[in-house]
Amino acid sequence: MLNKKNINNLILLVILGVILFTPVGTHIKNWLHPEEKINTNINLNTINLPLKGINTEDSNLKNLKGEVVFLNFFGTWCPPCVKEMPSIQKLYESKGKSVKFVLIPINDTTQKVNDFLSENKYAVPVYEANDVIDLSIKPNVFPTVLIFDKKGNLVLKEEGASDWNSQNIHALLDNLIAE
C-alpha cells in the first residue's frame, strides 16, 4: 500500500534517476560548475594507452606525436553518443587524411561496436583501450571529445552531444593542421 513515506521515496528515486541517467545531470553539473576549464597540463604524447583496433590497425596514444588528434569516448548504449555519430563520420570523411581520429567505446563489447559500425556504415577508426585510461583524459560524461594539437596539447574538451561537422570545428581543425 502506498503511504506518504513510500510516495516521497518513489519521487526521490525518480528525481535521482533523471539526474543520473539523462542529459539533465550534465546540464546540472555545468550549471553548478561553469568555471570548469580545460586542463592545459594534459599532453597526449605522455599518455601511454595501447589501443586495439576494432575496424583499423592497433595503435597507442603516445605514438600520435605530430598529429592533430580527435579523441572521442562514446558508447553504443548512449543516446547522445549515437546522435552525434553521423556528424563525426562526416567530419572524418572530410578531415580523416589530416586528422587522426580515435574513437574509444566504453562499457561495450567488441561485437556490439562492430554491429553498430556495420549497421550505420561508419568507417571512422574505433579502438578498444588495452589498458586503464589515464585519469587526465578519462571521461565523466558521455560522449566526451578531446581535440589535441600537433604538440599533443589539449585545445578543446566537449562533453555531451555536438555537431562535429560544423564550420567552427572545421575552422579549428584547419588552423591546427596549418600549425
Comparing C-alpha atoms, which of 39, 47, 78 is closest to residue 157? 39
Per-residue pLDDT tens digits of the chain, which is 179 residues long: 678 777 777 777 667 666 666 665 655 555 555 444 445 578 999 999 999 999 999 999 999 999 999 999 999 999 999 999 999 999 999 999 999 999 999 999 999 999 999 999 999 999 999 999 998 899 989 999 999 999 999 999 999 999 999 999 999 999 999 99
Is residue 137 within 8 A of residue 41, CB to CB? The reply is no
Q: Residue 178 class from Cβ within 10 Å (0-12 exposed, 13-18 middle, 19+ buried)?
A: exposed
Rounded-to-10 torsion of CA 39, 166, 90, 107: 40
State the pairing for strand pair 144-148/154-159: antiparallel
What is this structure's pTM? 0.79
- Is the peptide bond preceding residue 105 cis, with omega within 30 degrees of 0? no
Predicted local confidence at residue 145, as pLDDT: 97
Rounded-to-integer distance, Cα 177 and Cα 179, Å: 6
What is the pLDDT at residue 177?
97
Q: Contact 95/170 with Cβ under 8 angstroms?
A: yes
- Measured at the alpha carbon of residue 110, what is the angle toward residues 77 and 148, in degrees to the nearest 5? 75
Query: What pLDDT sits at residue 36?
Result: 46
Domains of the chain: 1-34 (no CATH), 41-178 (3.40.30.10)
